[in-house]
Amino acid sequence: MEINNFFSLSFFLLLLLGVVESFYYHEKELETEDGFRGMYDRWRDHHNIEQKSDEKFNVFAYNVKRIHESNKMDKPYKLKVNKFADMSNHEFVNMYTDSRIGHLQATVPGHPHINVDPFKDFIYQNVTDVPESIDWRTKNAVTDIKGQGGCGSCWAFAAVVAVEGIHAIRTGKLERFSEQQLVDCDLLGHNKGCDGGLMEPAFLYIIEHGGLATEASYPYVGKRETCDKSKIGKDVATLDNRQNVPPNDEEMLKKAVAFQPVATNIHLSGHGLQFYSEGVYTGDCGTEPNHGVALVGYGVNPEGIKYWTVKNSWGPGWGEKGYINVQRGVRREGLCGIAMHSSVPIKYDPKAPKGDPNAPPDNFVPKDPNAPVKDDPNAPKECPSTPKDPKLRTTQRMQGIRTKLLEL
């Protein structure tokens, strides 16, 4: 009772301070099972979670203990009891990061670097003047954090961040574009809706199909539905090309992020990443990509640790309001494999002087906005046995009538 009264007063003070979006607990609650169970119930109320079981409680208690112990250590990052606290790491990884990126990458010719660039050289290959830090959020090129839910569509969210970024940089207008269009309609290649996908083929789909719809016209529903071309409209984001960043090269990746937000794959698993809260993550993780994210900046913290600023798609309740800072410059492939598979959408600047990396190349031919786009993969197809020539269709119908008469 004393613990509950103490926490009630503490929670009331937090209400007055207006910081109740995060879940807080007192160390005394960790001393007894009653304290843990009271915390568990408050956590469920805080996140509107109805499911309750002894198994879930045991997982919750285990996670809270590990979070508490980690935060007592001298690490450059902190963890928090977030909405995933009653999930084992295995369950969490399967639900939120199992997007089959590694499998899909392995099936693409030229693995690990998709050889699809018609202009060969990486667009930022010869850039030398690169700032020591950049944050595209402060340059009106990054929209608010979104949430993918239980759909394995991280690839679509990562691709859209990059598209929103380059669209804002070129047009001066920040808009939210549609992940759902990619989930529903980008089905002819390696992308599989809620069952995973890759960002570079998503850029190719946007190029070949006339652009990407706004989020308002084609909103996200968290599951794959039939492609609905009527939702796309004419207010779309268009691209001129796409490229992959040379793999396992953080300096080349830095050059790309200096010019625009970049879509990349990362290995997001482990206790530290599940409950990351703030700071620069320097903990353990693998290098087998299992999640699509976007790089929207880089910098150096006051302690001198270099980092990437990563936009995730797990909602604002995870990490630093939806973001994570991942240590930069520690290994060839990047921490958590962040530099292994990255790609950029390209929208040339027609006003850029010749020699500028953003200028259209000499052999570039702009796509005709009135040119027909590829068919909707979900659209009904005409029966192949039906002749397209009207005369042949008439002849076929007459033969059918004659056959019926002979049967009489």
- Residues 216, 130, single domain; the answer is yes
Question: Is 264 in a helix, a strand, or coil?
Answer: strand
Burial grade of 309 (CB within 10 A; 0-12, 13-18, 19 or more):
buried
388 located within any domain: no
In angstroms, rounded to a whole number, what is the distance separating the alpha carbons of residues 66 and 274? 12
The tokens 């004419």 sit on which residue? 234
Instruction: Check residue 400 and give its pLDDT.
Output: 43
Total domains in the fold of the chain: 2
- Residues 39, 110, single domain; the answer is no
Q: Which of 63, 89, 151, 154 is catalytic?
A: 154
- Residues 58, 103, single domain; the answer is no
Q: Which of 82, 244, 265, 312 is catalytic?
A: 312
Closest C-alpha among 144, 176, 112, 358 to residue 256: 358
406 located within any domain: no
271 located within any domain: yes
Closest C-alpha among 74, 40, 17 to residue 25: 40
Which two three-digit tokens encode residue 383?
Answer: 């029966």
- Residues 74, 114, single domain; the answer is no
- Residues 81, 100, single domain; the answer is no
Angle CA 326–183–358, to nearest 5: 60
359 located within any domain: no
Domain interval for residue 73: 2-86
Catalytic residue status for 285 = no
Instruction: Check residue 301 and give its pLDDT.
Output: 97
Instruction: Check residue 63 and give its pLDDT.
Output: 96
Instruction: Check residue 135 and give its pLDDT.
Output: 98
- Residues 241, 297, single domain; the answer is yes
112 located within any domain: yes
Instruction: Check residue 13 and give its pLDDT.
Output: 40
396 located within any domain: no
In 195-241, alpha helices (H)? 199-208
Of 48, 64, 86, the one marking the end of a domain is 86
Query: Tens of pLDDT along the chain (408 residues)?
Result: 444 444 444 433 433 333 446 788 888 889 999 999 999 999 999 999 998 999 999 999 999 999 999 999 999 999 999 999 999 999 998 888 855 555 555 555 443 334 444 446 899 999 999 999 999 999 999 999 999 999 999 999 999 999 999 999 999 999 999 999 999 999 877 799 999 999 999 999 999 999 999 999 999 999 999 999 999 988 999 999 999 999 999 999 999 999 999 999 999 888 999 999 999 999 989 888 899 999 999 999 999 999 999 999 999 999 999 999 999 999 999 999 999 999 999 999 999 998 899 999 888 887 766 666 555 444 434 333 333 444 434 433 444 434 333 344
Q: Which of 291, 336, 341, 358 is catalytic?
A: 291
In angstroms, rounded to a whole number, what is the distance separating the alpha carbons of residues 360 and 346? 10
Catalytic residue status for 312 = yes
Question: Is 315 in a helix, a strand, or coil?
Answer: coil
357 located within any domain: no
- Residues 152, 61, single domain; the answer is no
Catalytic residue status for 68 = no
- Residues 35, 142, single domain; the answer is no
In angstroms, rounded to a whole number, what is the distance separating the alpha carbons of residues 171 and 159? 18
- Residues 218, 265, single domain; the answer is yes
CATH number, position 311 = 3.90.70.10
Instruction: Check residue 386 and give its pLDDT.
Output: 36
Of 299, 331, 346, the one marking the end of a domain is 346
- Residues 176, 103, single domain; the answer is yes
In angstroms, rounded to a whole number, what is the distance separating the alpha carbons of residues 370 and 299? 42
Which two three-digit tokens encode residue 301?
Answer: 């913290």
Instruction: Check residue 24 and give its pLDDT.
Output: 83
- On whether the CB atoms of residues 387 and 393 are closer than 8 A, the answer is yes
- Residues 216, 278, single domain; the answer is yes
Closest C-alpha among 124, 235, 257, 259 to residue 177: 235
Instruction: Check residue 328 and give its pLDDT.
Output: 98
Of 346, 363, 393, the one marking the end of a domain is 346
- Residues 243, 182, single domain; the answer is yes
In angstroms, rounded to a whole number, what is the distance separating the alpha carbons of residues 313 and 161? 10
Instruction: Check residue 369 and give its pLDDT.
Output: 60
Instruction: Check residue 269 and give its pLDDT.
Output: 86
